[in-house]
């Protein structure tokens, strides 16, 4: 391995002789690398595309070894904020919602100060109230869209009071859900006309993704004719195909067929041939947020939001309601182990949904119960600043009706700042039972009203006692490692208590839970090498995952194989990524997974590899190169963790195959 900060050699197999200098010295910073290769950045040079790199490599697995990098010099506020693309203050679909001017993300607001006074016995003023949600009249109200086709193709008009115009298909952003004792305002449906909003034949572009695959399952279960396409084959496509969904690999105009509606994910570009063909024919093309209202319908919505932890928490809540026999509908951003699906169209009155903040999707919901697990800046391509992201979360929380409930993890400063946005205020009142609380501040810290205490790590996870206002609720066990998963389980306890789920059903559900696919998931073991996969693509998630792996497999050397996800996130959080990855004993960095962005995946990721201090670090040109490198370097008794929201998890599967894993490899 090369030593010193300035002797970084280029990847073997990349066209240069061994020992030839790589792209730039150690003094280059990640945001500079991105600026040089990402079109539109202030320091931008000529655009270098993603490039073609050979899957087969020679010599040392196609890896660049990084020596001791020079120290990172963060900005005065402790955070490096890389440049965003000028003129792109918001990502696809984000421009519809203004960026509010808000206090900095994470600052404790007056709402939290009042909560602190309450928990200290000083009480909370009754007049603490947020602005009420706007009332909706008949027909298409505020927040809804008319979608139709004129001579120019696809058009949208703001919804106006009154009935639906002839030949116009309506897509609603969501009305308030039904309340006991209140009017039945159906969420996303016009009452009285007897017509469903979502037409019979629906084609989904990007159907293999976590969001659209679940929507496809629910639509099919409700009798819709569903088809879809995705760029490449995957297990998700094969599973949908086995369930009777017509699936295409690759994109072509002819695949739109006779669809009445084309539904797309945020990652689909506007020049996609199926999108272009649908618009040519006058077929409406919409994003998932625009159909969520009707998908949920009259059901009572439990929506789980948060920068981290929302997938696991959504899965825990869904499993809890299933265990109680309530037959909920649910839509989760990953396959729930034990239920072996990411979505279900149940017959019960509740709909549990993962509320994605990207593209401001969650602002299409009107939840009766809203959970926020965490809040810190992410998605810089959509939110230009931490303040903009905090503002969107405030809007989300304000959509909860006064008689609903806001479940907030007050361990995190960003979430504490949301408490004032709660409609109806945060007043708990001394002696208010959990079943009647309008706000449930939960967590492991002293500020939580619903608190996890006496936490004990076990071989499979953790045990904890939940207490409400100092009174024990019960003892629970969850079989996924990490303190962050104790908090996720506690959120499920909070929702279950608020809804009135029997505690014994909650205990059974938490004990039964075995995680979500790609969330600290054990892929397999070969030659005493443990391989774990996680969807982590943010520094905080990486830190939590590495801590959980060390808890589950104590004493093992931990390898982190990291695939950065998007250039904008890497540029904005470069210093944080370097620190979080140093939590592993050794690190392998892959090229950036660009998703919806343009840039040079190799140069940007190499810059990150140079920033990681005090650890054995290598850069691999490809998934295959990384797996070959790992096969040569990893030893029995060690653990390998793949950290990727793209296809970096293939490294783990290839490694297990190379080590001769016996039995099933997930």
Which residues form the catalytic set? 310-311, 354
- For CA atoms 112, 117, 120, 126, the dihedral sign is negative
- For CA atoms 178, 179, 184, 190, the dihedral sign is negative
**Contact indicator for 391, 102 with CB cutoff of 8 Å:** yes
**Contact indicator for 381, 255 with CB cutoff of 8 Å:** no
Determine how many CB atoms are found less than 10 A away from the CB of residue 134.
9
Which one-letter DSSP state was computed for residue 399? T
Please spell the DSSP secondary structure of 339-359, one letter per residue.
TTEEEE--SSSEEEEE---GG
**At 296, phi and psi to the nearest 5?**
-80, -40
Determine how many CB atoms are found less than 10 A away from the CB of residue 149.
18
CA distance 144 to 418: 26
Find the largest Cα–Cα distance for the chain: 76
Please spell the DSSP secondary structure of 8-63, one letter per residue.
PBPPTTSSS-TT-B-SS-TT--HHHHHHHHSTT-TT--S--------SS--TTTTE
**Helix, strand, or coil (residue 57):** coil
Computed on alpha carbons and rounded to an integer, the radius of gyration of the chain in Å comes to 25
**CA 647-580-335 angle, 5° bins:** 40
Which one-letter DSSP state was computed for residue 151? T
**Contact indicator for 333, 308 with CB cutoff of 8 Å:** no
CA distance 483 to 472: 19
């Amino acid at each position: 391995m090369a030593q010193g900060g300035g002797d970084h050699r280029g990847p073997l197999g990349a066209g240069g002789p061994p020992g030839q200098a790589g792209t730039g010295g150690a003094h280059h910073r990640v945001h500079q690398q991105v600026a040089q290769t990402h079109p539109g950045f202030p320091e931008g040079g000529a655009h270098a595309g993603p490039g073609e790199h050979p899957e087969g490599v020679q010599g040392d697995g196609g890896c660049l070894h990084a020596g001791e990098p020079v120290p990172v010099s963060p900005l005065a506020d402790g955070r490096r904020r890389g440049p965003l693309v000028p003129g792109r203050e918001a990502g696809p679909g984000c421009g519809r919602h203004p960026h509010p001017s808000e206090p900095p993300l994470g600052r404790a607001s007056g709402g939290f100060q009042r909560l602190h006074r309450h928990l200290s016995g000083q009480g909370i003023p009754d007049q603490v109230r947020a602005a009420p949600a706007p009332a909706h009249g008949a027909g298409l109200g505020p927040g809804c869209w008319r979608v139709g086709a004129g001579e120019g193709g696809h058009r949208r008009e703001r919804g106006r009071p009154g009935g639906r115009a002839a030949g116009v298909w309506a897509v609603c952003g969501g009305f308030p859900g039904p309340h006991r004792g209140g009017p039945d305002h159906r969420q996303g449906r016009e009452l009285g006309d007897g017509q469903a909003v979502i037409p019979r034949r629906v084609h989904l572009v990007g159907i293999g993704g976590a969001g659209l695959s679940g929507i496809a399952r629910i639509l099919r279960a409700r009798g819709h004719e569903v088809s879809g396409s995705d760029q490449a084959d995957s297990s998700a496509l094969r599973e949908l195909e086995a369930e009777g969904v017509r699936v295409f690999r690759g994109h072509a105009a002819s695949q739109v067929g006779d669809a009445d509606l084309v539904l797309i994910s945020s990652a689909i570009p506007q020049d996609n041939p199926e999108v272009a063909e649908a618009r040519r024919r006058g077929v409406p093309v919409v994003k998932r947020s625009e159909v969520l209202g009707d998908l949920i319908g009259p059901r009572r919505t439990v929506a789980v939001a948060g920068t981290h932890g929302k997938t696991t928490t959504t899965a825990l809540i869904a499993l809890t309601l299933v265990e109680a026999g309530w037959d909920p509908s649910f839509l989760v951003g990953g396959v729930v182990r034990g239920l072996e699906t990411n979505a279900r169209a149940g017959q019960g009155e509740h709909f549990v949904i993962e509320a994605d903040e990207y593209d401001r999707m969650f602002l299409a919901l009107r939840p009766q119960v809203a959970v926020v697990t965490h809040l810190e800046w992410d998605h810089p391509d959509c939110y230009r600043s931490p303040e903009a992201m905090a503002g969107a979360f405030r809007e989300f929380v304000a959509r909860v009706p006064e008689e609903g409930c806001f479940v907030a993890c007050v361990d995190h400063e960003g979430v504490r700042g949301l408490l004032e946005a709660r409609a109806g205020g945060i007043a708990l009142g001394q002696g208010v039972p959990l079943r009647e609380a309008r706000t449930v501040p939960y967590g492991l810290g002293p500020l939580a009203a619903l608190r996890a205490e006496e936490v004990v790590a076990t071989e499979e996870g953790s045990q904890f006692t939940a207490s409400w206002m100092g009174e024990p609720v019960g003892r629970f066990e969850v079989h996924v490692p990490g303190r962050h998963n104790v908090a996720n389980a506690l959120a499920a306890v909070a929702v279950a208590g608020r809804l009135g789920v029997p505690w014994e059903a909650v205990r059974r559900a938490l004990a039964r839970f075995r995680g979500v696919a790609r969330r600290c998931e054990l892929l397999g073991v070969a030659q005493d090498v443990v391989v774990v996969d996680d969807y982590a693509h943010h520094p905080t998630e990486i830190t939590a995952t590495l801590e959980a792996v060390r808890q589950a497999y104590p004493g093992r050397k931990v390898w982190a194989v990291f695939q950065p996800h998007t250039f904008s996130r890497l540029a904005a959080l470069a210093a944080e990524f370097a620190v979080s990855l140093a939590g592993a004993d050794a690190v392998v960095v892959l090229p950036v997974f660009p998703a919806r962005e343009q840039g040079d995946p190799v140069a940007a990721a190499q810059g990150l590899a140079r920033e990681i201090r005090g650890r054995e670090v290598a850069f691999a040109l490809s998934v295959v190169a990384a797996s070959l490198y790992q096969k040569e370097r990893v030893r029995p008794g060690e653990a390998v963790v793949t950290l990727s929201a793209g296809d970096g998890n293939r490294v783990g599967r290839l490694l297990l195959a190379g080590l001769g894993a016996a039995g099933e490899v997930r």
